[in-house]
Amino acid sequence: MNDNQTTAAPVEGSALVPASGDGQVLPASLAAGPDTFENPGLPPHVHRAADIDPAAAKRAERQVATMFAISMLGALAFVVAYFAIRDEATFFLPGVGKASTQNVVLGLSLGVSILFIGLGAVHWAKTLMSDEEVVEERHVQASSPESRADAVAVVSDGVDSTGLTRRPLLKYSLGGALGLFALPLGLQVVGSLGPVTVGELKETLWDPENNNGQPIRLMRDPEMTPIKLEEVTNGSVFHVMPETLQHSIDERKHVLEGKAKAAVILIRLNPDDIKVQKARDWGVDGVVAYSKICTHVGCAVGLYEQQTHHLLCPCHQSTFDLTEDCKVIFGPAKRPLPQLKITVDDEGYLVAPEGFAEAVGPSFWERKR
């Protein structure tokens, strides 16, 4: 119940000795350390029902056999279903909706088949196989002194017969060959870490040199049709690709690489809502275009909220304020989205005359800021 009682009834055969200055006393067995504990040994073995009652053993045997039989039925059901159910057959399964009958039946029957093999095996082991506790002592890990001496003799004999100790030329040339062999292995790993030049990261399909220096039209993605200024109505969002992407599409080459850097979002705001003069100047009548690639880790920032003029990145919730030149107002992004300068060409279509003024997308080592 409490400390007094414990100390008042010491273990038989132990003497009480003073422990420390505070007058407490401990049994001698505790004071002397754990060595003096006696190994309590294993608890007495408890027999299972199947060990002592033949009827219970028979019942367990039947249970295991039943599980194996269910497994067999599952396997047979699989074979039957494989041939009997048409590929296109469907049925309504709660939680799934319209499900493919063959998928569900094949999966279930195969699952039942293997599950009941396992359940049967475990039940067999637990009820019928021996469960007597056995103690196996560890053997000594070291080999005998004779075999250790033999091993040393074999190695030193081998070294003597190669003559390495007597012929230093062989020793050093072998060392050089093995050492140099590591170089090609290391070189290909280091050499494949990436291009040393980063010019590609600063280029996009919006650069005028991709169009012989001519301004590049803004095209609807995925239709690739040009956009007239008056088609961009108030509150509209256009997802835009450069006219120059069409070359890649026609040649079926580097389409995704091109898209990955060139994606642009085009939005019309009330010009009075835009608070930054540069953002107004780079747009036309409140129509502004910004890179859609997040400056954090490069997800597509496409979630535009018409009322708040916020652009939200779905990956890490970086939020950009369109009215403040896409300044970051929330989240892990550190830089505003780069704006694409747009004007209108002779035919009234929106064009980008200069490309992006800075590298789009996430920061990289050589970006300077």
Partner 1 sequence: MNALAARRRHPAAIALLILVGLLITGGAYSFIAPKDANASAAAPTASVEEGKTLFLGNCASCHGTNAQGTASGPSLVGVGAAAVDFQVGTGRMPMAQPAVQAPRNAVKFDEDEIASLAAYVASLGPGPGVPDEEYTTPLEAGTEENNHAIAEGGEIFRVNCAMCHNFAGAGGALTRGKYAPGLEGVDPKHIYEAMVTGPQSMPVFSDTNLDPEAKQKVISYLKAQEDATNVGGMTLGNLGPVSEGLFAWVFMLGILIGAAVWLGKKAA
Q: Which residues bind partner 1 (CB under 8 A)?
A: 46, 48-50, 90, 95-100, 103, 122, 126-127, 131, 220-223, 228, 230-239, 267, 300, 302-308, 310, 312, 314, 317, 319, 330
- Nearest residue to 108 (alpha-carbon basis) of 74, 68, 73: 74
Kindly state the smallest distance separating residue 279's Cβ from partner 1, in Å.
Answer: 18
* Tokens, residue 336: 């505003």
Question: Closest CB to partner 1 among 46 and 135?
Answer: 46
Q: Kindly state the smallest distance separating residue 272's Cβ from partner 1, in Å.
A: 16
Tokens of 58: 């028979």
CB of residue 261 vs partner 1: minimum separation in angstroms?
16
Provide the minimum distance between the beta carbon of 24 and partner 1 in the complex, in angstroms, as a whole number: 41
Asked if 287 and 350 touch (Cβ cutoff 8 Å), the reply is yes
Decide if 102 contacts 89 (C-beta within 8 A): yes
Nearer to partner 1 by C-beta: 4 or 233? 233
Please report which helix (H) or strand (E) contains residue 290, including its range: strand 287-291
Is the CB of 30 or the CB of 229 nearer to partner 1?
Answer: 229
Amino acid at residue number 27: P
H or E stretch at 58: helix 54-84
HSE (CB half, 13 Å, CA atoms) of 104? Answer: 14
What string of DSSP letters covers 141-206?
Answer: -SPPHHHHHHHHHHHHHHHHHHTTTT-HHHHHHHHHHHHHHHHHHHHHHHHTT--S--HHHH--TT
| Smallest separation, CB 309 to partner 1 (Å) | 10
Separation CA 211–CA 216 (nearest Å): 7
Q: How far is the CB of 77 from partner 1 (least distance, A)?
A: 19
| Residue among 261, 286, 264 at smallest CA distance from 220 | 264
Residue placing its CB nearer to partner 1 in the complex, 312 or 351: 312
- The phi, psi pair for 195, rounded to 5°, reads -70, 145
What do you get for the CA distance between the two ends of the chain, in Å? 70
Tell me how far apart the alpha carbons of residues 91 and 292 are, in angstroms, rounded to a whole number. 42
Q: Which is nearer to partner 1, 244 or 318 (by Cβ)?
A: 318
CB of 172 to partner 1, least distance (A): 57
* Minimum CB distance to partner 1 smaller for 230 or for 273: 230
For partner 1, the closer of residues 59 and 171 by Cβ is 59
Minimum distance, C-beta of residue 41 to partner 1, in the bound complex (Å): 18
Closer by beta carbon to partner 1, 14 or else 103: 103
